[in-house]
């Protein structure tokens, strides 16, 4: 009897361990499911916003909207840049690109989208510092913009000491001070020059970005033909299959940001665009970019070969981006004409 009791006691730890293993298994399973749903929620792209309405709301909150409800020239574009950066920081999940914990560390589509938005924000901030706020090449840089522009160029992968978010918030703070000065009547009033050459210079950067994206999207399509070995200048660089969805979502983020920026430009540069008969060209760019924001019904970004069975998501995106880039080139040509 005592021998039987001893055997039973020796089995108890094994039974307890088996029960503990089940508890750990189900706890891990529940955590994985919860993180998956949280990751899907964080992967939702932000909605588009009305650039004029948001600019007026900012001006009204800060007491700069006069009775005629007219914003200072340049206010809508600067406000749009501020709102775009704010969206990056305050959307569900916040800024995910520098996350080191789940589920952000396992996500790649949203960080790629964020990078596309961030690149356009950096380019526009540089245009504000170099062109929009200066009357000529020998004029002094704006005191706020010369701080804001480097802040937006901070490493997007830094999670601490300092974090990317803190640097971008500082840049947005300086941008808001520029907005305040743009609407004030003080001697320290900020400037915005809505000239054709300024707009053409910024559009040159836009065209370069769109051209690169179009090439990378096209290079994502599966091709059964072997890649020819050639010299460095003529070699066709294919996008790795593991980066296909990243390039696609970077293009989505780029287009999302540009749609808002170009809508704001239409407001602040309206007289310049009318003088150059360029309003139609600008609206054509916006229409092409809006097509890139259509809903994605497939759970995966597919890149079938040629006219094969599978969809070519990257090739469709490349088509819209390339057409938008062509319209940008035409717009620049109109702006540069006398």
Which pLDDT score is estimated for 237? 61
The residue among 318, 254, 329 whose CA lies nearest residue 284 is: 329
Confidence of residue 23 (pLDDT cuts 50, 70, 90): confident
Give this prediction's pTM.
0.87
How many distinct helices (H) and strands (E) make up the chain?
Answer: 11, 0
Chain segment 246-281, per-residue pLDDT in tens:
999 999 999 999 999 999 999 999 999 999 999 999
Of the ranges 129-143, 232-246, 263-277, which is most confident? Answer: 263-277
DSSP labels, 109-141: HHHHHHHHHHHHHHHHHHHIIIIIT-SSTTSPP
Statement: residue 20 has pLDDT above 70? yes
Q: What 3-state class would DSSP assign to 288?
A: helix
Statement: residue 307 has pLDDT above 70? no
Q: Give the contacts of 193 (CB within 8 A, at least 6 positions apart).
A: 131, 132, 133, 134, 135
Q: What 3-state class would DSSP assign to 281?
A: helix
């Amino acid at each position: 009897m005592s021998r039987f009791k001893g055997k039973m006691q020796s089995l108890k730890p094994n039974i307890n361990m088996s029960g503990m293993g089940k508890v750990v298994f189900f706890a891990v399973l529940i955590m994985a499911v919860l993180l998956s749903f949280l990751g899907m929620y964080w992967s939702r792209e932000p909605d588009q916003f009305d650039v004029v309405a948001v600019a007026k709301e900012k001006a009204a909150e800060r007491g700069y909207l006069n009775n005629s409800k007219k914003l200072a020239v340049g206010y809508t574009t600067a406000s749009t840049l501020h709102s775009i950066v704010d969206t990056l920081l305050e959307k569900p999940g916040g800024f995910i690109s520098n996350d080191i914990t789940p589920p952000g560390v396992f996500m790649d589509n949203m960080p790629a989208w964020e990078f596309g938005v961030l690149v356009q924000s950096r380019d526009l901030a540089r245009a504000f510092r170099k062109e929009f706020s200066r009357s000529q090449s020998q004029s002094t840089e704006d005191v706020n913009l010369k701080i804001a522009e480097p802040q937006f160029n901070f490493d997007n992968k830094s999670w601490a000491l300092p974090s990317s978010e803190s640097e971008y918030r500082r840049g947005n703070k300086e941008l808001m001070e520029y907005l305040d000065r743009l609407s004030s009547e003080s001697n320290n009033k900020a400037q915005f020059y809505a000239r054709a050459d300024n707009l053409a210079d910024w559009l040159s950067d836009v065209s370069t970005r769109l051209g690169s994206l179009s090439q990378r999207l096209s290079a994502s399509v599966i091709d059964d033909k072997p890649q020819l070995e050639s010299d460095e200048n003529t070699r066709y660089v294919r996008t790795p299959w593991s980066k296909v969805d990243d390039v696609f979502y970077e293009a989505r983020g780029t287009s999302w940001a540009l749609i808002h920026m170009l809508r704001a430009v239409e407001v602040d540069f309206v007289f310049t665009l009318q003088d150059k008969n360029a309003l139609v060209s600008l609206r054509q760019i916006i229409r092409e970019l809006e097509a890139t924001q259509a809903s994605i019904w497939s759970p995966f970004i597919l890149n079938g070969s040629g006219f094969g069975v599978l969809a070519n998501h990257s090739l469709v995106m490349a088509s819209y981006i390339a057409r938008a880039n062509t319209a940008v080139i035409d717009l620049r040509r109109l702006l540069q004409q006398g």
